Amino acid sequence: MESKLTTSQSLNKRYRVNFTIGRKIEKADDKLLPTQSYLLRPRHNNSRVVTIKAGGLNTVSAAAVLSPRGLTPLVMQTADCIPAIAFTPPGQFLALLHLGWQGLFSPLLDNFFAAAARENIKPHELQFIFGPSICRDCYTHHSPLQLAKWWRLRLSRFNQFTHYDKSRTFDLTGAWQAALASHDIAGQRITSVGLCTHHDLNTSFHYQGQTSSKVTTIITTN
């Protein structure tokens, strides 16, 4: 899988996450992934959360995948949405989440924290890392009025929308930070690699139908 850029970060002494900018992984490329991988294929408007229990190459269609026993590698591809990693610093619990604007109006986080609770993981034990995604200044595609019409929600729900250079922009990262804050996760427990998929990495907007390159997130052991 030819890549443009790779950035790596340790989660703790045992695990590491790599964000690689490259072409989209097709089904035929599954053999190029690390062996025994769990490949999360996100679906928009999907709040499904899957917990994995055993090894083997698995492809999961969901918004999040949990690995309470620390089974790796976990793999996911995103375009402009946020690839998020949730983990317990001293323990084995790992999770990958696909955080897009549609997920903000779904029960994704409720489902995620409910699944974590079934593994005896409480919100205050978790930390989050946000990978490369579209930044507020570049996200100008959807207007609040369009979103409210699609979701039949009041405009007051879209408090993350602001004006920027006379155009409507959306702070996707800020919206998800606020959503996590409602579950008592905030401050230093949420960090970001600080890379925009548009102006930093020069990838194409997924919502414009251009998927020539994507962010591949892979969690492995050190």
Lowest model confidence (mean pLDDT) among 22-31, 110-119, 182-191: 22-31
Residue 47's contacts (CB-CB under 8 Å, 6 or more residues apart) are 63, 103, 106, 107, 108, 111
**87 pLDDT exceeds 60?**
yes
* Nearest-angstrom CA–CA distance, 175 and 214: 22
**Residue 155, both tokens:** 């405009």
* Nearest-angstrom CA–CA distance, 42 and 195: 20
Q: Which residue has the higher pLDDT, 58 or 200?
A: 58
Instruction: Catalogue all structural domains in the chain, each as residue range(s) with its CATH number.
Output: 3-134+172-221 (3.60.140.10)
* Nearest-angstrom CA–CA distance, 72 and 36: 7
Task: Give the tens place of pLDDT for each residue, 125-164.
Answer: 999 999 988 888 777 655 554 555 544 444 444 444 443 4
**33 pLDDT exceeds 50?**
yes
Task: Give the tens place of pLDDT for each residue, 189-199.
Answer: 999 988 888 77
State the chain's mean pLDDT as an integer.
76
Pairing of strands 74-78, 214-221: antiparallel
**218 pLDDT exceeds 60?**
yes
